[in-house]
Structure 1
């Protein structure tokens, strides 16, 4: 056979180890189809129970839908931004917004400071029974709000409560904490800090244990005090943990609902009512469109606060 014939035969022959392009494309199409089939249950549930209700409530906020319109939901009238204007002009809603801001501005820093102090204590100070202390600090996080409410009602009871009893030992007549316009909100903040600082403590503890020991040793060699090493070496390295805990704690505190609902029912005189609780009340009254607009106002506030926290606390 001539060399020219062999070259032609070689040109027509495809290497056995090279799959056809069409076969590769077909395999990828099969994989994509299989992935969509496996994801279909989640996608269907997400659309039906998350995306659908969210979009429906957003559209509802621009209508005059009330409880009487449930039988004819498509017969409602569009009102534009009237519900948002009505919510912002509602005196009780503005009181709830002030209470929520107060709860967040005071509660978030206290929670983070308590969590960081506990994390430093567990990382540096407590050498024995560390696991026991970790469980003890974290236990309130997983405890039911009903159980927490029972405990704190006993602690804050006006006559026989634990706190007023201790204050009486030093000659101080404690107030009726949960029935006082002055002390009801600080009482709820104190309870929330006690209940929630454990989750932030776990994050801070993980961050502290991830910092190399050589960093602190270098500061010691340079003559830095314990506070200076913590302030200028340890704390900057904890910036990602501080960002994460401040964002998650801030989002949770902006939506605080269980504390006033269980402990004070929003009283006394709406001094502890929150935006989430007032929205829940409006929904219970059948004002569905107004409740939806209030929830989206809260959503915008959460988004803005989160954006500000990322701008301020993110790593430079």
Structure 2
């Protein structure tokens, strides 16, 4: 018993040592800045002078900010379009690739996932040329089919749509990969049993594939919500948040306030965004008990 106890103690110490670097990084770059942000909410701070406590002034500024409602709405619009699109399109692509032969599936996987590993800034810069009103490739081919020039990045009507199109192309590879791995993990015996019962392809997808992928679907939904509530790179590179504030997201607004040395106001925006993400994630986990299946067989 003593030997077993010592062995477990050594294993526990080894485990703690392995996770220690991750814990230190989390404390330094996540937990500590978050705690500081909560403190700076009630201060006036501009990186030069020492923080000065101002009470609820920043909170009142937040509620009186005429732009903040539109900015949060921009993030919600991106969320409302991109999350369902990536959840559904990623699943559709993964299913189609999984149904192809092994030789072709490798090629398709590379094509779909390749944009994901490219740096957002570099490909967004390339897309900004594609979106050019007068000389862009997209408007050129639209003109071939009789559609007039669209001011993709210069119009508040089209700028958000341009960001959405780019984001679909750029990031659909991530949910695709999750779904593809999930499909690979579904036991073939379940499909064989369904075939014996006379199920066709549509019925096998509905009664076997979807129930076995619910945990993967849930993960994709949660990660997509968190990612697009913090959307920054795409509007920053493509539109700089314009025209006006039509494509300014919460993260970009936080960055602008930080850049202008409005550190306290940037902190309160960060805290509000954190609270929104935390509440939405908690509700998603609460609701997942009713529809997510974690059984592997």
- The corresponding residue for 2:137 is 162
- The corresponding residue for 1:269 is 244
- The corresponding residue for 1:10 is none
- The corresponding residue for 2:170 is 195
**How far apart, CA to CA, are the structure 1 residues paired with 2:181 and 2:2?**
49
**Deviation (angstroms), 1:290:** 0.8
Give per-residue Cα distances to partners, 1:141-165, cap 9 Å, x unaligned.
1101122113212322212322222
Is 1:62 paired with 2:42? yes
- The corresponding residue for 1:53 is 33
SS for the counterpart of 1:83 is: helix
Q: Please point out which of 248, 255, 273 is paired with 1:298.
A: 273
Q: Please point out which of 187, 205, 208 is paired with 1:212.
A: 187
Is 1:77 paired with 2:56? no
SS for the counterpart of 1:178 is: coil
- The corresponding residue for 1:242 is 217
Please say which of residues 93-102 and 32-41 is displaced more in the overlay: 32-41
User: Is residue 37–residue 271 contact of structure 2 (8 Å, CA) maintained in 1?
Assistant: no
Give per-residue Cα distances to partners, 1:281-307, cap 9 Å, x unaligned.
111111111110000100011111112
Number of residue pairs aligned between Structure 1 and Structure 2? 290
Give per-residue Cα distances to partners, 1:56-78, cap 9 Å, x unaligned.
22111122223442xx33xx124
SS for the counterpart of 1:266 is: coil
The 5 Å alignment of 1:276-295 reads 276-295=251-270
Give per-residue Cα distances to partners, 1:38-57, cap 9 Å, x unaligned.
87776666544443332122
User: Is residue 116–residue 201 contact of structure 1 (8 Å, CA) maintained in 2?
Assistant: yes
The 5 Å alignment of 1:77-226 reads 77-80=53-56, 82-226=57-201
User: Is residue 78–residue 164 contact of structure 2 (8 Å, CA) maintained in 1?
Assistant: yes
Change over 3 Å in CA distance of 1:275–1:160 after alignment to 2: same
Normalized against structure 2, the TM-score is what? 0.87
**Deviation (angstroms), 1:28:** 9.1
- The corresponding residue for 1:7 is none
User: Is residue 251–residue 302 contact of structure 1 (8 Å, CA) maintained in 2?
Assistant: yes
**How far apart, CA to CA, are the structure 1 residues paired with 2:47 and 2:156?**
33
**How far apart, CA to CA, are the structure 2 residues paired with 1:233 and 1:39?**
37
- The corresponding residue for 1:14 is none
- The corresponding residue for 1:311 is 286
Please say which of residues 138-147 and 218-227 is displaced more in the overlay: 218-227
Change over 3 Å in CA distance of 1:62–1:207 after alignment to 2: same
Unaligned runs of 5+ in 1: 1-17
RMSD: 2.8
Change over 3 Å in CA distance of 1:293–1:213 after alignment to 2: same
**How far apart, CA to CA, are the structure 2 residues paired with 1:39 and 1:110?**
35
Please say which of residues 301-310 and 44-53 is displaced more in the overlay: 44-53
**How far apart, CA to CA, are the structure 1 residues paired with 2:190 and 2:14?**
50
Change over 3 Å in CA distance of 1:202–1:58 after alignment to 2: same
Please say which of residues 122-131 and 293-302 is displaced more in the overlay: 122-131
Change over 3 Å in CA distance of 1:223–1:78 after alignment to 2: same
- The corresponding residue for 1:253 is 228
